[in-house]
Each structure stands twice: as C-alpha cells, then as structure tokens.
Amino acid sequence: MLENKNAIIYGGGGAIGGAVARTFARHGATVHLAGRTRASLEAVAAGIAAAGGRAEVAVVDALDEKAVEEHARRVVEEAGSLDVSLNLVSRGDVHGTPLTAVPAEDFLRPVTTGITANFLTARTAARHMSEQGSGVILALNSGSAKGSPMMGGTGPADAAIDALVRNLAQECGPSGVRVVGIWTAGLPETMTREKLALHGADLDEAAFERLLTRLAEMRMLRRSPTLAQIADTAAFLASDGAAAITATFVNATAGIFTD
C-alpha cells in the first residue's frame, strides 16, 4: 500500500511507533524514525532491516522547532519526498487524580507538550507536502476529549489535537494534503505496571489484571484493540486507498465511545 512512500514517525522507538514503522515498511515505505533515544530507534530499525525493509534513524526532539524543520528538510533532500508524517511522542500525562486535586503542572504538561509537538511536526510536514502537492499527516490520541474522568490533562490535550487535525485539513486540503487522526485507548500490549506507575496509577498484579479485564468489558466489542490493528489502520489511512478521508478521526477504540 505504501510502495515508494517516505514516512517520518516521531516517537518511532516506542511501542506504537515501532509497530507502525514495521507495518509501514512491510507495505513498502521507507520509514524515518525520529525520537530522543537513539538506542530504541536503532532497535526498531534493525528489526525492519532484518525483515527486508528500509529504515533510517535520527535523534530529533519534536519540541525543538529548528531540529524538526532541519530533519524534515534532510529527508526531502535525500529521499525526494515526504509523504507521511505521524507524531507519537509521549506527553507526560498523569492519571488517577481528580481535577480538583491535580497539580497545575501535571494538568498542563500533556496539553502544552502534546499540542506543541504535534503542531511543529504537522506544520513542517504540511509545508513540504503542500509544495509537492500530496501527503498525509496522521495524529493519534485516546479520544478523551469526549469525556474521561480521572484523566487529568489528557482530555484537553486530546481536544487540542483534534482541533488541530480538522483545521489543518481544511487549510491544506486544496494543496492535496490530507490530515487524519486515530482514536485509540488502553492498548494492553503497551501497558505495564511500571509504566502505569509513571502516569500516577500504582497497581499490584491483581489490580493490574482487573484493569485489563475492565478495559475489555468497557468496549462494545468486549475486547481491546491490538497494536497490529492500530498499525494496520494507520497504514490504510496513509495509503491511496484512503484518498477520500481527511479532517476526521477514525475510532479504533473497539467501541469505548461512539463518534
């Protein structure tokens, strides 16, 4: 689906980023993995290369405007085009505390980090794509703007990204650029007790297993999405098969909420 496409994946060394990168590469794309930790990026790239795919690695801070712009410029100069851009960088969300008790710093961090990183990477990609007359900008969040209690700043952060996707799509559509988002939430393969503790949820093993069960029960399909399903969704949206889709979000939550 993505033969001869060049895709930048910010946060490409993470669980979702790595899964998407491997799927993009399997469909023929050259993936340019960008992030702050070289070791994790190189591990993903090595796996892609071993499977016969093409991957490049660059240490890029998505909050650094000049670094983002310089990296994208190099990709275009060396590869010839920038066809897909996907931002998956972490935002420092903190969960489990009521809004009336959450510290302002913890509330604001995902909002400012998330919208800044997504804006810088999407704006940079949109400039190059508008010049070449084609391209797809993808974003991903949990859909918590629809209402998720005890999620701190996650809801407002998601709402900001939702608005950015729709507004950028309207502005760049006449230049042939599509902007599309994916909603997904609570992917078990990305969750560990240690990671949850970093987000404010300190659970023992029994509580962790109950959480996973509860996540599945909350969904209309009574099962949680898998990393492979989210990666396949991203690959389709990035492909010409989704050429009529823009200015919207695909609900890949297995039905936690309706559109």
39: helix, strand or coil: helix
Neighbours of 219 (CB within 10 A): 17
CATH number of 6-186+226-251: 3.40.50.720
Q: Show the tokens assigned to 250.
A: 């695909």
Let me know: does 256 contact 143? Beta carbons within 8 Å: yes
Q: What are the domain boundaries of the chain?
A: 6-186+226-251, 188-224
Virtual torsion, Cα 38, 21, 77, 169, nearest 10 deg:
-120
pTM across the whole model: 0.94
| 134 close to 176: Cβ distance less than 8 angstroms | yes
Query: What element of type H or E holds 167?
Result: helix 154-172
Mention every residue, 6+ apart, whose C-beta is less than 8 A from residue 83.
Answer: 2, 5, 6, 7, 29, 129, 134, 135, 136, 238
In terms of Cβ atoms closer than 10 Å to its own Cβ (0-12, 13-18, 19+), residue 38 is middle
Place of tokens 């949820």: 201
Q: Tens place of pLDDT for every residue, the chain, 259 residues?
A: 999 999 999 999 999 999 999 999 999 999 999 999 999 999 999 999 999 999 999 999 999 999 999 999 999 999 999 999 999 999 999 888 999 999 999 999 999 999 999 999 999 999 999 999 999 999 999 999 998 899 999 999 999 999 999 999 999 999 999 999 999 988 999 887 777 777 667 778 898 888 889 889 999 999 999 999 999 999 999 999 999 999 999 999 999 998 7
